[in-house]
Amino acid sequence: MALLITDECINCDVCEPECPNGAITQGEEIYVIDPNLCTECVGHFDEPQCISVCPVDCIIPDPDHSESNTALLEKFEQLTVLPLPPESRLAHDF
């Protein structure tokens, strides 16, 4: 399940640099989390880093983006896979 920042956010700027996937950005009024990039830190840490540093506890599971730990791990693997260098791609294009 991706995470969601509620309107209780005080824009303290501590969560954004903690996200290993770059899923947190400044929105129009508060920080927002991109559910396509959020893995709840699965694959990186034992717990979501944004939640652990948030001073007002405004980060919650996003009810609109429910994912199992397996799905989060698969998303982590897709986000962290390194693309093949161009010379390797040419060798595979038969």
The C-alpha atoms of residue 20 and residue 75 are separated, in whole angstroms, by 13
Res 46 pLDDT > 90? yes
pLDDT of residue 94: 45
Half-sphere exposure in the Cβ direction for 43 (13 Å, CA): 20
Assess if residue 93 is contained within a domain.
no
Backbone angles phi, psi at 87, to 5 degrees: -65, -30
Residues in the chain: 94
The C-alpha atoms of residue 53 and residue 87 are separated, in whole angstroms, by 42
Domain count, the chain: 1
Range of the domain at 76: 3-81
Task: Give the pLDDT mean for 54-65.
Answer: 96
Question: pLDDT for 60-82, tens place per residue?
Answer: 999 999 999 999 999 999 998 86
Res 6 pLDDT > 90? yes
β partners of residue 60: 4
pLDDT of residue 81: 82
Assess if residue 72 is contained within a domain.
yes
Assess if residue 21 is contained within a domain.
yes
Could you tell me the CATH number of the domain that includes residue 71? 3.30.70.20
Dig out the tokens for 53 from the structure.
Answer: 């540093």
Assess if residue 8 is contained within a domain.
yes
